[in-house]
Structure 1
Amino acid sequence: MSAADFAAAQWTRATGAGVDPHEYRRVTDGLASVAGWGPSLVRTGRGHLRRAQDAASPRSAGEHLLTAARWFHLATLAPYAEAHHAAAEADRALGRALTLLEPDARRVSGEGFDGWLRGPRDAPGTVVVVPGLDSAKAEFLDLVSALLARGLAVFAMDGPGQGALAATSALVPDYERVVGRVVDALDVPRIGLVGLSLGGYFAARAAALEPRVAAVATVSGPFRLDWEELPTPVRDIMARRTGGADAARAFAHHVDLAALAPRIAAPLLVVDGGRDVIPGVTNGEPLARLAPHGTYLSVPHGDHLLGNARPDWLPRLGDHLTHTLTGAPA
């Protein structure tokens, strides 16, 4: 794949994550090859670190740090020998930003998870944001902001093999164990879950097996994976995140919600994009159909993660979680 094709493929994912579209064009238009993606985006992130250092106010410094975190995370999306360093830089920049912008934000870590709990301590509900195959807590900052604006507390996390934990751990299919430890650490009686991309599988599985999940939503989550049909780039990423091709094949075999979907007692919203067509991936319609309280929202023009269609699903997702967790109008 050429650098131009790769940049075009990541366009709505990057802008959906909150990166300025004009800066994205400036950074990626000059790439000679995909190999330059990681180094170029890391340089851009470090430029925002310098702006943060020179900023005239803590607010401006924090905003530059959030932008840096986004760029560092995006640097990890292409094969890059220093990807683990970029992920660590994203983690540090996010932490520094929240220290400046939200002094009450609390870092919470435990066995197999790490993240930031944001929002009021007396919030009427808590939502856990679960990333996917190559995403991380630094990617979904705008989703977190939308939930915070509704008065909810939000825990944006990395799990095994994700984000800041990718260098020291591997993806696990039994994510309900991770979610259970998260709920224990947050010390709340019930939570909502939002899972994005492969995180949709993690969230749905956890909702079926962890009774403290009271509301759940998936965005571009797979119902089932067929290893033999998956595109080579997806299999390569999965192999890197699980510890090799054999482990990736075994992991993909676990991704099948047919038996678990009927066990999801919580109200479930499944969001898919009509243009999100990946060989070997069965999208979420069967999940919504088989779950006892499932609702399906398909956005015809939406792509993977629906970064090109945010007004068509994000408000409804916020309403679903707010109403289900609090009983109040969103």
Structure 2
Amino acid sequence: MGGMYFLDQPDVMAPFVAGNRSRAFGAGLDPFAYERVTDGLRSLHDWPAAFRAAGARLVAAADEYAAQGRTVSAGEALRGAARWLHFSTLLPHPDATAMAGAARAADEAMGRALALTEPSAVRVEGASFAGWLRHPVRLEAPVAPLGPVPVVVVVPGTDSAKEEFHAVADALLARGVAVCAIDGPGQGVMAARQGPRADYQHVVGEVLDAVAGRPGVDVERAGVLGLSLGGYYASVSAAYEPRVRAAVAVSGPYRLDWDGLPPFVTDTLTRRCGGREAAREFAGRVDLTGTASRIDCPLLVVEGGTDDTPGVADGTALAAAAPNATLLCVPHGDHLLGNSRPDWLARTADWLAARLLTTP
């Protein structure tokens, strides 16, 4: 494939660190720790090891807490470790073995965290995905819903993984729906197994098939919430998977123009797809122009007003084309709206839960 096109760009480190700052904060990384870790970088080549080291320190702290019987502290440290380990994989780095190892370590840390603090969580896997099914805490009657509750599939984006969106999952769980946060093709622990696919409705269908029949979950009232490229995945799933009753696309593309995309995106897709031509073909299929009109379930499109990535037609076109869509635009929001979480997350979780819990 050639050299590291993005990493070899001159003067690339400072913009990358700055550009991922709000994303890191929105995902739950401590802002002061982020500054300490990134201040110590000499180049972006150092990013993966520095973030892995931060995750390893939290794993060591969790081991110490667990040995002392401090289960809550151990679980919190492991959740934090999962986030840091995931963030070590963001770059289009040539060491695929190290990237795959970090993704596995993030997955294992999150699994250990859930085993300590949320033992009702269930590992769910299929040919094209791996994730965790989590159940909402049942409130005292008469507030508690009776019978099975709807499930929301939370879908990450191009370089994301299920460990990045703890806040999204927690917000939905708090509102009485189950959550299945996954890695699909080209994402997280699945990235080493298969490249991304544009027909993501088959992945969501496989998730719902795997969850069907599990106690307390109603897959016939399913929702899907996708972030960044996951917003496209959520939209195409809403168009073609009949069990999806409501969907949310956060910072998702309406379509991609390969020739206009920035080097970080093209290099990331090239590595995750296994080659430049495969990546170009995949990008060409990320296009909702002929699909948006098929999305007849309620769709919430969440956009940041300052999110302007070259080569990406944003979700405002989707909101205009889908027949039952609502646009929520935060004027000062950036990509993934990590700089404005109070302006969209609660509103979005309320919107999605209300539509699923009131669906017959």
Sort the TM-score into its range (normalised by shorter chain).
over 0.9
Residues 124 and 152, structure 1, Cα contact 8 Å, conserved in 2: yes
**What is aligned with 2:74?**
61
Query: 2:142 aligned with 1:129, yes or no?
Result: no
> Unpaired runs of 5+ in structure 1?
none
Distance (Å, rounded) in 2 between the aligned partners of 1:232 and 1:25 = 24
Distance (Å, rounded) in 2 between the aligned partners of 1:140 and 1:306 = 12
Letter in 1 for 2:344: W
Q: Can you list the C-alpha shifts for 1:189-210, whole angstroms capped at 9, x where unaligned? A: 2310001000011110010011
Letter in 1 for 2:194: S
Distance (Å, rounded) in 1 between the aligned partners of 2:356 and 2:227 = 19
Q: Which of residues 231, 247, 254 in structure 2 aligns to 1:216?
A: 247
Q: Can you list the C-alpha shifts for 1:277-329, whole angstroms capped at 9, x where unaligned? A: 0111000011111111100111111110000011111111111111110129x
Counting only pairs closer than 5 Å after superposition, residues 262-301 of structure 1 correspond to structure 2 as 262-301=293-332
Runs of 4+ residues over 6 Å off in structure 1 = none
Larger of the two Rg values belongs to structure:
2
Distance (Å, rounded) in 2 between the aligned partners of 1:266 and 1:50 = 46
**What is aligned with 2:55?**
45
Provide the secondary structure at the position in 2 that maps to 1:189. strand
Residues 183 and 190, structure 1, Cα contact 8 Å, conserved in 2: no
Provide the secondary structure at the position in 2 that maps to 1:127. strand
TM-aligned CA deviation for residue 243 of structure 1: 1.3
Residues 92 and 267, structure 2, Cα contact 8 Å, conserved in 1: no
TM-aligned CA deviation for residue 5 of structure 1: 2.7
TM-aligned CA deviation for residue 79 of structure 1: 3.5
Identity percentage over the alignment? 54
**What is aligned with 1:174?**
199
Q: What is the alpha-carbon root mean square deviation over aligned residues?
A: 1.2
How high is the TM-score relative to the length of structure 2? 0.89
**What is aligned with 2:284?**
253
Q: Which of residues 18, 24, 27 in structure 1 aligns to 2:37?
A: 27
Distance (Å, rounded) in 2 between the aligned partners of 1:134 and 1:10 = 12
Query: 2:16 aligned with 1:6, yes or no?
Result: yes
Provide the secondary structure at the position in 1 that maps to 2:249. strand
Provide the secondary structure at the position in 2 that maps to 1:24. helix
The number of residues matched between the two structures is 328
How high is the TM-score relative to the length of structure 1? 0.97
Counting only pairs closer than 5 Å after superposition, residues 233-248 of structure 1 correspond to structure 2 as 233-248=264-279
Counting only pairs closer than 5 Å after superposition, residues 297-316 of structure 1 correspond to structure 2 as 297-316=328-347
> Unpaired runs of 5+ in structure 2?
1-10, 139-146, 213-218
